[in-house]
Each structure stands twice: as structure tokens, then as C-alpha cells.
């Protein structure tokens, strides 16, 4: 419970993860594996993908249009004559970039707001809670569409716009969780003690409150990463996301593929869709695994067998005659 | 007793009173968001065909360049009196849109939610009951993967399988064209209307069209429900009263059904409310995929046409609906859930 | 155990419903036609209509003074008995006697005057009152005569009268239209071949044969359903499965290609008058003098491979266009073909640039918009970029914005080169030349050629077809030489129809009127 130092919360998290056993451990590690796979795809897209994301020809000969999977194009080609496999790989770069920017932005906005609002209380708290609840009540995809729409007219469409739209939707979540935890923590004995000792508000928040509250954040961050990818794909599907000339994006590819379904062309939609399912599942597994491990209500700890030292003859300080008496 | 009664009343009044500023903030947000976007319906319709000067003249005549505060005032007044206006691009009243398209979305949402509960609750309970067994892992994995699949991808697969490949089910629309014309619609809920008027062929037509969209959206939501029911099951199974029941020698099965099950379901009411917003959002994508004539599909269309009266009106109703539902949930919880303090 | 039994029962129920449902959905009897479309109408009041889907129904429910007959391209009388210019600025129409609206009210000149007066008065943002700027006044001296007084001579006026926006509405009787605002679409009443039986926005429009129609060639079918779809793939599946009889506007090239092989479906195509073109903003385009700028434009016109675009991007559903006036309209020619040849000539383009002293590769910033001009716009411009870059003479950067921003920016001097499309207001060559080449053109690209303006004024004022023919030949020639706009393709009207449907081919002509009354089944 009590712990000081900024990162003690995270250190505790690390220890809990390390101690995890059984099903939660496997869930966590398989999630991490899947996400790591996509991160590698994202970082090394240029090396792994056979072609560029909008490449329509190679060595002078143009790619066939809507060709089924074959040796030259493992996942087939699209109506724009681009290679599906390459677009799926480049798409992971887009997805990871957007997730990183969105989660980073949401954290930098949501967590401090939650901390300050929860600790300081009063009118500021009430006002922020009202605004955040209003944002929370909005169906998230509607909000994301409207924000993406707006931003696209001022700063153009692209990674940042999509990430910003997602951030606006998720800041209330971080705010709410952090604030609630802060409210329960600020009445704890050690915080009162620190106050009595004359520590300033900033120090208390930083040293005592933040370190405790922060252990909730990774779970929400992973679950929000999962939702961020779904929101990005939804925006792309509706046409408010990233344009095909800027980067590959899985949701947009599916929106073009819907037209192909009627013609029996299945490869243009199946592979981007599977990529979304896999990556979102990966993040969710991490979140679920973390939750299993951290949530005191449902976790189990590894049971450490108590170490009972073996019986061994003692060298007693007492003289021989008294030793006889003691042993009886 | 009377003291408890009056504090319940105070709680309810406070809760309803708090809803008002929430709604006000939402409305203001909607208004600002739409006004900040460039362009107006006339630009959308006549741009590229008529000179900019002509467009400016018409825009002025339609009142799009009135001062912002004046437009804001009109908007708030309209929201309060329920006269949200007439759309700019196709001259429909917002009320008409809500009744006709809103009923389509609501019908889809209710059917989807019913499927979500029917699938999610049994799986969630089984997963919680037999923790960390293949049943639990399978159930959780199912819930996770089904939520990870975007509704338009599942819809795309469903259309591929049932529409193109097998041809069993219709993949678009709410009902066939002739049924649409001939069915009398007192309630605008086609399932009810066709039953009430005894029109059996219409009823089957409606059900066939409803299956794929409701299944697609419902399975998605069931993923969330599985997770929530499972966690609640785990918490209640650990509870003291369950231990006490076991200690008294009651059979495990009865323990599960009588004690754990019922208490695990109490939060489902809250879940229903929380998922309402998700359902409305998911409806937008489902309607696009299945050509369902609901309010989400109309919203996307009006947004593209910059018909801000329409978008404002629809989003206003969405927002108010979400707030009303959450207040109702809180009120129901206040009566039902003993943990809520007031 | 109980659960499994429950599933079996549910499964059997669904199967039973499927069997029962087979009879109800799908096409109706021989006299009912079902058309599917992705275009949604704006208004069924002529004063509020200026878009194709609204026009479709207005042409069916109302009558105009003049109309374009099927397969023709010149106006002939419809509600009128005869119409003609009495002098340069006066156009007189004599009405048929005995015409009635579908509610029994008689149709006479006061209804016509009322229709035009209210169109101008309401000046609906979604209507076509801008086409009447040349109309000074309308008068109805006696119940059978209407006189239009124009401000300036205008040979296109008869064509303007054929537009659905100027259909005749009832001025009195139980269904009199309001003089100062639009009639609700659900209450449309006219004197045409059909009555509006039902309109559910976003879902369907239902037309029924009007028994009181007194004109020539009444409808050949009894009922028409117009079903709205929000995606072309849903429309394509519907026509493939027989849920609609006709799928028209808009199917993508992929849909059409797939339907070509499908059983039970035929593809019907006819000449269309929808065009796409590339516009240069003369102030922003590359080139340090007028001569250099013209050289750049001419070089682009020389390099674009229209046939490749038509085949590769549009699967043959469009034809290459060699003049701003599409084929099928009177006075249309192929000036760009005469000037630049039918296929790309990179060597000639290179020479043109060299002679003007333009350094290659020329940087071109080309803008396009994702959905307003069809979902293949992106593919089309990717192909154009490919062609221009491959010649070695140009270096193209493609940019896109969504329609609202695009339509403001393009005409306020923000885009150096951009994509545009055009739909006819009326099927006359004037609509395809004056709109682009006049000094006051909405394009606002800085194109100012006094010879062109003089020719345009001349053709507009003259009703003598030989004078107009000469003028238009000159206009198109100058247009090809100056090339402020480069025509790319002309769309065909393409529909997918089920076997047994006839009449669709007959109605495909430059007027863009979809004549439901010609269509039969079986």
C-alpha cells in the first residue's frame, strides 16, 4: 500500500507481473508476443514489405488489378493495383504510430488533470468532472468523427489528426480513473502525515499520490490502445481517416474491399481485417493479463512455501547440567 | 425509514438536476463543432457548378452568415421546445428523421442487445464458474476476439458468406421494397407492426433482414458482456456469503445459481446503460455496412453534405438520449443496488 | 439438453421463415418496376430541385412546357401545343387544351406563370432559379397563352424550359402550392404520367400510373418503386439477386465488370453527357509568361492517355472526350483530337515545351477530391500522374481534400491544377462552353479571351442553327488551342437490368431524362 518514490507503483507492478503464474501469465505473454510482432513489422516495414504502400508497378511492369493471391503477390492485389501484403505490413506502421501518439497525448493530458482535480477538489474538480462526464456520455465514434472532420479542415488528414480525435475520446477515461483513485488515496494516513510535516501540495502529489495511482494506468493504456486501433479503423472505413496516398491504413482498405465482396474478391478485405483483429486482440490480452495479475480481487499470487529451517543441534550458551533441564 | 426516503428523493432530484448542465455542455459542444467546420450545405450542393458569388448570395439569403450568438440562441431555443428544425439539404423535419430512422436504429439496437445478453451472460457465468479451465479460456478468448473484430469486418465476412456464397439471407435494407410500401406502420417498429397487423409474409421479411445486422452488432457487444459478467462472477464467488453457503453444505450448483448468479447480474443493469452509448456508436458502422436505414447512416450522409441543422439535431437527440438513459440507470441502481449510498 | 433443443427449434423457425419469406420480397408483378439507386433526392417541388435524383421523379410526376423526346436532342412541345420566339426577346407558348392535374384541376397559363414566378421568388438554395436570371417577366394574357419576356436574346431558352426545375405546378385547387415556400416532397401533385403514391426519404419513392394523364404516350407500366441504397455494392448485390429490376446510378466499374458475367443480368449502356476535365488556374500554374503557360497546358493535353484511363480505371464505362462539348449534343466536335491527335504524342509535347523555353520536368501540383466525383477519382488521378511522370516532362504531386473544402478552395485561387466534373443544366452546347470559357465563368481561373466572349454572345443570341454551328466550331477550336481546361472523359449512362426488362436503352440520351414510362417487364 504505502510506498514512496515516483516509480514505486511501477516497480510493484513489475514484481507482480514477475510473480504471476498460470493462466494470467500465459495471457499476458501471448499478448506481449503479438504486439511485439506488430511493432517489429512497424519498425522494419521498409525491409519486410515486398513493395511500397502505394506502389503499382515493379521493374517496369504494372501490377495486375484485383489479382488473387499468387507467387508474386502473396495476398493478391487491390482495385488500385497495389499489393495487399505490403499494405498490411505498412498498415501496422500507421497503426502503431497512431496508437503511440494517441496514448501519449491522452496520458499527458488525462493523468495530470485527474491528479490535480482529485487532489485539489472544490470548484475546479466539479467543473472538470462535469465536462469529462459530458464527453464520456458522447458515443465515442461520433465524437471521433466530428473531431477528425474538424481537424482535417484545418491541419489536414493524417496520423496526428486521427490520433488527436482518439485522444479527445479517451482523456475522460484516464481522468476519471486517476481522479477516483486520487480521492481515495488522499485521505490515507501517510498523506496526512506528509501534510502535517509541511510538504507542499506539488511534492505530495508527485511523491505519494502519483506513485500509487500510476499502477492503474498501464491496464487502461493497453485497453485504450486496443480501442484506438478500432477507432482509427472505423474512421478509415467511413473515409475520415488517413488518405491512401499518405499511408496504408487497414480500415480504409476494408472500405474499398466491401465493393469487391459482391464480385467474390475476398483477399482485399480479409487480410487487413485479420490484421486488425490480431493486433487488437494482442493489446487486449496484455490488458486482461495485467488486470488478472494486478486486480487484488481476482488475482492469485504465487504461493511461497514457508521455509522452515531444518532441526539441527544447537550449541547452547548454558552449562551442561542446565541443558539437561531445558531439554526435558 | 422516512429519513431514508427523503434522502433517496434528494439523491434523485440532485441526479436529475445534474443532468441539465451536462446536456447544456453537450449541446454547446455540438453547436461549436458544427459551426467551426468550413463550408455549408449550399457550398456542398452547388460548388463546382455555380460561381462563388452566387453561392455567397444564396448562403446569405439562407441566413448562414448571421452572428454566431444569434444562431446559438435559436439552436438552444429549438432544443428546449423540441423544434430542432428542418434539414437544409432535403427539407425533412428533425422530428421526422428521429421517428422514422430512430425507430430503425432502436429496433436494431434492441435486437442486438438481446443477442448480446443471450450469448454473453451464459458464457460469462460459465467462464467465471470454472475459472482457468478450457471453458474459461475459450470463453474469454471468444469475447476478446469478437470485440477485436471491427463490426464492418464481421459484416463484410457475413455478407461474403451468407450473401454472395450461400445466398441465404438478404444483406442490405430493413425490408423488401414492396413490403416497405404495403406494411402499415403504427409504431414504426416493423417487428411489432407486422405482428399487430397479422401480416406474416412481412414479418418473415423483417426477421430475415434483421438477422445479420443484429447478429453482427450483438456478438460484438457480447464480448464486453462476457468480460464484465465473468469478473462479477469471480468477485461474488469469492464473497463471504457464498463461503457461508458452502460451509452450510449447500450443493455447489445451488450455490452458483441461487447466490452467485443473481448477484452477478445486478451490475448488468449498469452495463446495459453504459453500453447504450457503444450501441449507438456501433450502430453507425453496422448501418453503413448493411444499408440499414437508421439514424447513424443518415448522420454520416448529412455530415458529408455539411447539413449542419440535420447533424446538430441528430447529435442533440443522441446526447439527450444518452444522458436520460444514464440518469434512469442511476435511479434504478439506487433502488436495486444496496451498495449505492445516498 | 434443454439448450440444444432450444437451438434446434430456433433453427427450424428460421428455416420456416426463410421459406415463407421467399414469396414476399423481390420483384412484384408484370406492371411493377423496381429501380435501385444510390442517389438520394433533395426535393420533389420543382422550385427546390436541381439534382438528378429529384429530376427523375419530377419528370414522371409533372409536365414541362417543352421536353426532349427519347433519343432526340432538341426540344419538342409537351404541355404546350407550340412555342416560338415572336421577337428576339419574347418567347410565346400556346398550351394544349384539356390538360388536367392529377387531382382534376385544369392546367392553364396561370399555373405556368405561377410556377415561374414562385421559382424566382422562393429562390431556393437547392433550386435552379439562377438559370432564370435572363427572364424579365412572365405573363398569361389568356388561359391558353404564356409569354416570356427576356432581358437579352437567348437561343438556349427553349432548352432551359425543358429542365425539370421548370415543371408546372398547380396554382389553385385543393393542392395549390405555396407561393413563397417549397411544397413538402410527400405532397407533390402534377399533371404528369404518374402520381406520387409514397415517399419515404432514404428508403423509397413509389409512383403509380396517373389515370387522368391526357398527353401522348402514357406510361407502359402501372407502378414504379425507386429504392435507395447507401452503397453501390449493396445495389449490385440487389440487382444480382433479383431484389431490384434496374440498377442505375451508381455502380462502380468493379461492380459492372462482375455483373457482365452474371446470369439474369444485362448491362445496358447509352451516351451520357456527364464529363470530367482537368482545370488550370492561369495565375498559379507553372510558366513565366502567357506563352509558356499555354505551352505547359498544351503539352499536358498532348501527353494524357485518355484511352488508358477509360480502359484501366473505368473498365470501358466511359469514353475518351476530345472537346468540352460531349458527343451526342448538337454542334459537338472533337477539337482536341484535331489539335493534338487521338493518342499521346510525347515527342510533340517535348517540342512544344522546348520551343517555349520551358524547363523540364515541369512541376505540377494536381488536386482531386475523394468522393464527390466518384470513388475512382483517386485511381484516375494516380493513373494521370503515372502517365505524366512517365513521359519525363512532368513531375506531378497529387493532393486531395474532401469536397466542402475543395469546392471553396478550387474557385478562390488556391489550387494550380484541379479535377472537376460537369452535369448539364440543359442539353445544349452553350451550357458546356459559356460556363467554362466566358470571362465571368464560375471557374474564376483568370481565363480571358475577348474573341471567345464575342463568339459566345453571338451563338447565344442567334436562333439560326448554321450561325450557331459556325460559332461553336470556332469556340471549340480556340478552346483546344488555349486549353485552360482539358477534357478527359465522357461518362456513359450505364445500367444493370434483369432479363426481360426493356425500354432502358431507349431512354438513354443526352437529355439525362430517365423515362420510367417507357420501361416494361416480361
> Where are chain B's structural domains?
94-304
Q: Does A150 touch chain B (CB under 8 A)?
A: yes
Please state, in angstroms and rounded to a whole number, the distance separating the CA atoms of residues C108 and C101: 10
pLDDT of residue B46: 77
* Residues from chain A contacting residue C254 (CB–CB below 8 Å): 66, 79, 259-260, 263, 265
What pLDDT, on a 0 to 100 scale, did the predictor assign at position A218? 83
Q: Please compute the mean of the pLDDT values over residues C146-171 and round it to a whole number.
A: 93
Q: A249-253: which pairs have CB atoms within 8 A and are 24 or more residues apart?
A: A249/A91, A249/A94, A249/A95, A250/A88, A250/A91, A250/A94, A250/A95, A250/A275, A250/A276, A251/A276, A251/B150, A251/B152, A253/A78, A253/A84, A253/A87, A253/A91
Q: Residue C442 and residue B50: Cβ atoms within 8 Å?
A: yes
Chain C neighbors of B203, CB-CB under 8 A: 17
Cα separations in angstroms, B317 against B27, B68, B110, B321, B339: 10, 21, 18, 6, 32
Q: What per-residue confidence (pLDDT) applies to B19?
A: 76
d(CA C153, CA C87): 9
pLDDT of residue A125: 85
Whether residue B283 has pLDDT greater than 70: yes
Q: Quick check: A153 contacting B, CB < 8 Å?
A: yes
pLDDT of residue C6: 43
Are C244 and C235 in contact by the 8 Å Cβ rule? The answer is yes
DSSP notation for C279-316: EE-TTTSS-SSHHHHHHHHHHHHHH--HHHIIIIITTT
Between C87 and C402, the more confident residue is C87
Instruction: Give the gap in angstroms from C-alpha C231 to the nearest C-alpha of chain B.
Output: 7
Integer Cα distance of C11 and B168 in angstroms: 13
C331/B171 Cα distance (integer angstroms): 47
- Residue A144: all three cell numbers together: 471521433
Show residues of chain A in contact with B29, CB under 8 Å: 134-135, 138
Is B297:B288 a contact under the CB 8 Å cutoff? yes
Q: Do A146 and B323 touch (CB under 8 A)?
A: no
Angle in degrees, CA B278, B225, B25, rounded to 5: 30
* The pLDDT of residue C21: 38
Q: Do A79 and C231 touch (CB under 8 A)?
A: no
Q: Which of residues 49-68 of B touch C (CB under 8 A)?
A: 49-52, 54, 58-59, 61-62
Q: Identify from C205, C262, C442 which residue to disrupt to test chain B contact, counting B C-beta atoms within 10 A and taking the largest count.
A: C442
Q: Do B90 and C227 touch (CB under 8 A)?
A: no
Reference A83, options A104, A103, A69; nearest CA is A69
C-beta atoms of A260 and C254 within 8 A:
yes
pLDDT in tens, C426-480: 889 999 999 999 998 999 899 999 999 999 999 988 888 899 999 999 999 999 9
Taking an 8 Å cut-off on Cβ atoms, the answer to whether B147 and A257 are in contact is no
Q: How far is C379 from chain A (nearest CA, A)?
A: 6
Residue C319 confidence class, pLDDT cut points 50, 70, 90: very high
Q: What is the ipTM of this complex?
A: 0.79
Helix (H, G, I), strand (E, B) or coil at C208: strand
Nearest to A137 among B22, B149, B153 (CB): B22
Cβ-Cβ pairs closer than 8 A, A with B, add up to 136
In this prediction, residue C240 has a pLDDT band, given cuts at 50, 70 and 90, of confident
Would you call A280 an interface residue with chain B, using a CB distance cutoff of 8 Å?
A: yes
Residue pLDDT, tens place only, C95-154: 988 889 999 999 999 999 999 999 999 988 788 888 898 999 999 999 999 999 999 999
Question: Using CA atoms, how far apart are residues A257 and A251, in angstroms rounded to an integer?
Answer: 10
Question: In 3-state terms, what secondary structure has residue B166?
Answer: coil
Mutate to test the interface with B, among A31, A136, A146 (most CBs of B within 10 A): A146
Distance CA C478, CA C471 (A): 11
Residue with cell 510535516: A197
Q: Which of A137, A262, A277 sits opposite B26 (nearest CB)?
A: A137
Contact: B148, A277; criterion CB under 8 Å: yes
A155 interface with B at CB cutoff 8 Å: no
- Is B322 in contact with A145 (Cβ distance < 8 A)? no
**At B271, is the pLDDT very low, low, confident or very high (cuts 50, 70, 90)?**
low
- Look at residue B56 in the predicted model and tell me its pLDDT: 84
State yes or no: cis peptide before A183, omega within 30 of 0: no
pLDDT at A317: 58
- 8 A C-beta contact, residue B113 and residue B268: no
Give the one of B176, B200, B203 whose C-beta lies nearest to C26's C-beta.
Answer: B176
* CA–CA distance, C89 with C85 (Å, rounded to integer): 7
Residue for grid cell 424579365: C136
Task: Give the pLDDT of residue C224.
Answer: 95
Are residues A141 and B25, on separate chains, in Cβ contact within 8 Å?
A: no
Q: Output the nine-digit C-alpha cell for C311.
A: 480502359
Q: How does A149-163 read in b/e, with b if 16+ C-beta sit within 10 Å? A: bbbbbeeebbbbbbb
Angle among Cα C124, C129, C132 to the nearest 5 degrees reads 165
Give the pLDDT confidence score for residue A74 in this predicted structure: 86
Q: What is the mean pLDDT of residues A45-58?
A: 83
Q: What mean pLDDT is predicted for residues B4-17? A: 71
Distant-in-sequence contacts of B255-264, Cβ < 8 A, 24+ apart: B256/B125, B256/B129, B260/B129, B260/B233, B260/B236, B261/B125, B263/B232, B263/B236, B263/B239, B264/B125, B264/B128, B264/B229, B264/B232, B264/B233, B264/B235, B264/B236
* Contact between residue C335 and residue C322 where contact means Cβ atoms under 8 Å apart: yes
pLDDT score of B50: 81
* Residue C379 contacts A where some CB pair is shorter than 8 Å: yes
Residue B195's Cβ-side half-sphere holds a number of Cα atoms within 13 Å equal to 6
C-alpha cell at A171: 482523456
Sign of the torsion formed by the C-alpha atoms of A29, A33, A35 and A40: positive
Evaluate if residue C23 carries a pLDDT over 50.
Answer: no
Cell triple for A131? 465536462
pLDDT tens digits, A211-228: 777 777 888 888 889 988
The helix or strand, by DSSP H or E, that contains position A224, with its residue range, turns out to be helix A217-238
Q: Which chains touch A (3 or more CB pairs under 8 A)?
A: B, C
**Mean predicted confidence (pLDDT) in C226-248:** 88
pLDDT digits (tens, 9 = 90+) for A224-263: 899 889 988 988 888 777 777 778 899 999 988 887 777 7
Provide mean pLDDT across the span C355-378: 88
Q: To the nearest whole angstrom, how far is the Cα of C254 from the nearest Cα of chain A?
A: 7
Contact residues on chain A for B234, CB-CB shorter than 8 A: 297-298
Chain C residue whose CA is closest to B47: C407
3 state SS of C24: coil
Contact flag C200-B173 (C-beta cutoff 8 Å): no
Q: Who among B149, B277, B285 is closest to A234 (CB)?
A: B285
DSSP lists the bridge partners of residue C492 as C271
> Does residue C7 carry a pLDDT above 50?
no
Which residues, at least 6 apart from C354, have a Cβ–Cβ distance to it below 8 Å?
none
When CB atoms are compared, the residue of B145, B156, B318 closest to A261 is: B156
Q: Do residues B25 and C388 lie in contact, with contact meaning Cβ atoms separated by under 8 Å?
A: no
Quick check: C54 and C41 in contact, CB under 8 A?
yes
* Cell numbers standing for residue A299: 488475482
> Among partner residues B153, B238, B288, which is closest to A238 by beta-carbon distance?
B288
Instruction: Give the three-state DSSP class for C336.
Output: helix
Average pLDDT, chain B: 79
- The predicted pLDDT at position A327 comes to 47
pTM of this prediction? 0.81
Q: What is the mean pLDDT of residues B291-313?
A: 82
Helix (H) or strand (E) holding B225: helix B200-237
> Residue C139's beta-bridge partner residues?
C147
CA distance A137 to A114: 18
**Residues of chain A contacting C313 with CB distance shorter than 8 Å:** none
Pair A291, A14: CB distance under 8 Å: no
What's the pLDDT at A20? 64
CB A121: neighbour CB atoms within 10 A? 14
Count CA within 13 A, CB hemisphere, residue C213.
Answer: 23
Of B60 and C420, the structure prediction assigns the larger pLDDT to C420
User: 3-class DSSP state for residue C264?
Assistant: coil
Nearest CB to B58; choose among C20, C125, C440: C125
B188 touches B174 (CB < 8 A): no
Residue with cell 466518384: C374
Q: For position C325, what pLDDT does the model report?
A: 95
**CATH H superfamily, domain B94-304:** MetI-like (1.10.3720.10)
Mutation target for C interface from A237, A259, A268: give the one with most C CBs within 10 A: A259
CB-based contact (8 Å) between B202 and chain C?
A: yes
Interface test with C, best of A157, A262, A264 (most C CBs within 10 A): A262
Using a CB–CB cut-off of 8 Å, the residues of A that contact C are 54, 56-57, 65-66, 79-80, 152-153, 156, 239, 243-245, 256, 258-265
d(CA C328, CA C269): 14
Q: Is residue B277 scored above 80 in pLDDT?
A: no
CA distance B219 to A72: 37
Amino acid at each position: 500500500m504505502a510506498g514512496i518514490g515516483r516509480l514505486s507503483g511501477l516497480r510493484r507492478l513489475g514484481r507482480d507481473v514477475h510473480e504471476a503464474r498460470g493462466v494470467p501469465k500465459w495471457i499476458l505473454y501471448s499478448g506481449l508476443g503479438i504486439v511485439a510482432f506488430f511493432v517489429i513489422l512497424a519498425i522494419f516495414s521498409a525491409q519486410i514489405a515486398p513493395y511500397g504502400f502505394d506502389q503499382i508497378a515493379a521493374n517496369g511492369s504494372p501490377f495486375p488489378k484485383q489479382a488473387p493471391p499468387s507467387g508474386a503477390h502473396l495476398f493478391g492485389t487491390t482495385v488500385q493495383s497495389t499489393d495487399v501484403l505490403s499494405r498490411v505490413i505498412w498498415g501496422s506502421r500507421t497503426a502503431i504510430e497512431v496508437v503511440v501518439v494517441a496514448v501519449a497525448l491522452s496520458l499527458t493530458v488525462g493523468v495530470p488533470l485527474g491528479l490535480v482535480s482529485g487532489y485539489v477538489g472544490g470548484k475546479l474538480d466539479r467543473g472538470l468532472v462535469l465536462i469529462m462526464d459530458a464527453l464520456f456520455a458522447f458515443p465515442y465514434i461520433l465524437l471521433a468523427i466530428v473531431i477528425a472532420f474538424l481537424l482535417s479542415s484545418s491541419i489536414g488528414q493524417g496520423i496526428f489528426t486521427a490520433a488527436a480525435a482518439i485522444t479527445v475520446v479517451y482523456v475522460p477515461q484516464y481522468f476519471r480513473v486517476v481522479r477516483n483513485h486520487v480521492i481515495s488515496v488522499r485521505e490515507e494516513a501517510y498523506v496526512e502525515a506528509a501534510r502535517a510535516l509541511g510538504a507542499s501540495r506539488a511534492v505530495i502529489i508527485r511523491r505519494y499520490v502519483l506513485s500509487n495511482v500510476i499502477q492503474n494506468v498501464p491496464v487502461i493504456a493497453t485497453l485504450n490502445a486496443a480501442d484506438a486501433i478500432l477507432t482509427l479503423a472505423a474512421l478509415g472505413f467511413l473515409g475520415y481517416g488517413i488518405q491512401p496516398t499518405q499511408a496504408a491504413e487497414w480500415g480504409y482498405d476494408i472500405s474499398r474491399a466491401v465493393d469487391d465482396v459482391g464480385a467474390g474478391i475476398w483477399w482485399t478485405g480479409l487480410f487487413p481485417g485479420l490484421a486488425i483483429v490480431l493486433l487488437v486482440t494482442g493489446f487486449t490480452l496484455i490488458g486482461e493479463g495485467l488486470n488478472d495479475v494486478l486486480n487484488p480481487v481476482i488475482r492469485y499470487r504465487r504461493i511461497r512455501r514457508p521455509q522452515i529451517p531444518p532441526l539441527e543441534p544447537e550449541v547452547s550458551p548454558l552449562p551442561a547440567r542446565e541443558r539437561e533441564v531445558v531439554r526435558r | 425509514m422516512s429519513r431514508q426516503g427523503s434522502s433517496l428523493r434528494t439523491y434523485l432530484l440532485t441526479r436529475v438536476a445534474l443532468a441539465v448542465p451536462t446536456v447544456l455542455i453537450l449541446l454547446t459542444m455540438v453547436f461549436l463543432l458544427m459551426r467551426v467546420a468550413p463550408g455549408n450545405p449550399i457550398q456542398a450542393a452547388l460548388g463546382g457548378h455555380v460561381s462563388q458569388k452566387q453561392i455567397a448570395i444564396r448562403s446569405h439569403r439562407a441566413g448562414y452568415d448571421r452572428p454566431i450568438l444569434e444562431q446559438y440562441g435559436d439552436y438552444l431555443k429549438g432544443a428546449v421546445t423540441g423544434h430542432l428544425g428542418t434539414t437544409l439539404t432535403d427539407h425533412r423535419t428533425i422530428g421526422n428523421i428521429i421517428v422514422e430512422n430512430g425507430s430503425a436504429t432502436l429496433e436494431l439496437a434492441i435486437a442486438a442487445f438481446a443477442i448480446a445478453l443471450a450469448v454473453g451472460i451464459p458464457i460469462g457465468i460459465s467462464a467465471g464458474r470454472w475459472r482457468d479451465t478450457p471453458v474459461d479460456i475459450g470463453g474469454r478468448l471468444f469475447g476478446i476476439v469478437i470485440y477485436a473484430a471491427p463490426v464492418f469486418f464481421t459484416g463484410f465476412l457475413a455478407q461474403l458468406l451468407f450473401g454472395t456464397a450461400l445466398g441465404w439471407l438478404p444483406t442490405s435494407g430493413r425490408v423488401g421494397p414492396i413490403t416497405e410500401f404495403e406494411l402499415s406502420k403504427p409504431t414504426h417498429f416493423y417487428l411489432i407492426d407486422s405482428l399487430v397487423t397479422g401480416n406474416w409474409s412481412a414479418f418473415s421479411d423483417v426477421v430475415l433482414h434483421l438477422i445479420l445486422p443484429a447478429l453482427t452488432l450483438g456478438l460484438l457487444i457480447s464480448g464486453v458482456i462476457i468480460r464484465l459478467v465473468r469478473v462479477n462472477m469471480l468477485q461474488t464467488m469469492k464473497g463471504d456469503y457464498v463461503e457461508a453457503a458452502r460451509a452450510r453444505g449447500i450443493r455447489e450448483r445451488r450455490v452458483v445459481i441461487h447466490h452467485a448468479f443473481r448477484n452477478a447480474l445486478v451490475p448488468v443493469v449498469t452495463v446495459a446503460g453504459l453500453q447504450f452509448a457503444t450501441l449507438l456508436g456501433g450502430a453507425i458502422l453496422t448501418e453503413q455496412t448493411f444499408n440499414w436505414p437508421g439514424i447513424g447512416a443518415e448522420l454520416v450522409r448529412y455530415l458529408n453534405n455539411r447539413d449542419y441543422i440535420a447533424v446538430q439535431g441528430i447529435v442533440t437527440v443522441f446526447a439527450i438520449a444518452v444522458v436520460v438513459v444514464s440518469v434512469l440507470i442511476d435511479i434504478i441502481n439506487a433502488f436495486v443496488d444496496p451498495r449505492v449510498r445516498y | 439438453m434443454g439448450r440444444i433443443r432450444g437451438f434446434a427449434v430456433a433453427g427450424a423457425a428460421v428455416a420456416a421463415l426463410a421459406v415463407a419469406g421467399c414469396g414476399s420480397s423481390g420483384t412484384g408483378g408484370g406492371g411493377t418496376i423496381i429501380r435501385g439507386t444510390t442517389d438520394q433526392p433533395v426535393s420533389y417541388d420543382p422550385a427546390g430541385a436541381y439534382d438528378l435524383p429529384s429530376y427523375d421523379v419530377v419528370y414522371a410526376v409533372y409536365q414541362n412546357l417543352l421536353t426532349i423526346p427519347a433519343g432526340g436532342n432538341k426540344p419538342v412541345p409537351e404541355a404546350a401545343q407550340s412555342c416560338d420566339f415572336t421577337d428576339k426577346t419574347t418567347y410565346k407558348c400556346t398550351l394544349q387544351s384539356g390538360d388536367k392535374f392529377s387531382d382534376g384541376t385544369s392546367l392553364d397559363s396561370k399555373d405556368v406563370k405561377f410556377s415561374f414566378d414562385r421559382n424566382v421568388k422562393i429562390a431556393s438554395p437547392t433550386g435552379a432559379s439562377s438559370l432564370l436570371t435572363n427572364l424579365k417577366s412572365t405573363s398569361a394574357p389568356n388561359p391558353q397563352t404564356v409569354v416570356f419576356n427576356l432581358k437579352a436574346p437567348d437561343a438556349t431558352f427553349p432548352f432551359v424550359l425543358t429542365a425539370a426545375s421548370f415543371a408546372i405546378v398547380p396554382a389553385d385547387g385543393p393542392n395549390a402550392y405555396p407561393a413563397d415556400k417549397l411544397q413538402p416532397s410527400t405532397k407533390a401533385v402534377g399533371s404528369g404520367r404518374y402520381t406520387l403514391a409514397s415517399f419515404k426519404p432514404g428508403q423509397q419513392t413509389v409512383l403509380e400510373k396517373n389515370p387522368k394523364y391526357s398527353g401522348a404516350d402514357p406510361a407502359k407500366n402501372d407502378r414504379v418503386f425507386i429504392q435507395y441504397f447507401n452503397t453501390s455494392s449493396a445495389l449490385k448485390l440487389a440487382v444480382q439477386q433479383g431484389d431490384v429490376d434496374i440498377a442505375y446510378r451508381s455502380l462502380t466499374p468493379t461492380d459492372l465488370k462482375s455483373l457482365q458475367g452474371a446470369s439474369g443480368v444485362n448491362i445496358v449502356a447509352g451516351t451520357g453527357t456527364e464529363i470530367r476535365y482537368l482545370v488550370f488556374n492561369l495565375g498559379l500554374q507553372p510558366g513565366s509568361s502567357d506563352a509558356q503557360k499555354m505551352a505547359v497546358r498544351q503539352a499536358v493535353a498532348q501527353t494524357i492517355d485518355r484511352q488508358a484511363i477509360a480502359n484501366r480505371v473505368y473498365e470501358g464505362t466511359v469514353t475518351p472526350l476530345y472537346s468540352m462539348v460531349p458527343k451526342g449534343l448538337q454542334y459537338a466536335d472533337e477539337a482536341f483530337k484535331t489539335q493534338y491527335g487521338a493518342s499521346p504524342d510525347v515527342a510533340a509535347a517535348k517540342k512544344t515545351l522546348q520551343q517555349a523555353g520551358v524547363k523540364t520536368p515541369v512541376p505540377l501540383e494536381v488536386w482531386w477530391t475523394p468522393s464527390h466525383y466518384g470513388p475512382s477519382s483517386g485511381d484516375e488521378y494516380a493513373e494521370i500522374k503515372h502517365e505524366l511522370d512517365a513521359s519525363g516532362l512532368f513531375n506531378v504531386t497529387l493532393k486531395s481534400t474532401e469536397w466542402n473544402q475543395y469546392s471553396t478552395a478550387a474557385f478562390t485561387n488556391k489550387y494550380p491544377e484541379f479535377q472537376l466534373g460537369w452535369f448539364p443544366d440543359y442539353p445544349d452546347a452553350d451550357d458546356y462552353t459559356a460556363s467554362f470559357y466566358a470571362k465571368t465563368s464560375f471557374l474564376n481561373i483568370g481565363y480571358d479571351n475577348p474573341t471567345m466572349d464575342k463568339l459566345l454572345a453571338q451563338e447565344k443570341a442567334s436562333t439560326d442553327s448554321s450561325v450557331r454551328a459556325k460559332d461553336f466550331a470556332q469556340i471549340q477550336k480556340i478552346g483546344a488551342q488555349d486549353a485552360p481546361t482539358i477534357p478527359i472523359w465522357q461518362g456513359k449512362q450505364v445500367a444493370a437490368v434483369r432479363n426481360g426488362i426493356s425500354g432502358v436503352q431507349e431512354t438513354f440520351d443526352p437529355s439525362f431524362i430517365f423515362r420510367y414510362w417507357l420501361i416494361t417487364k416480361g
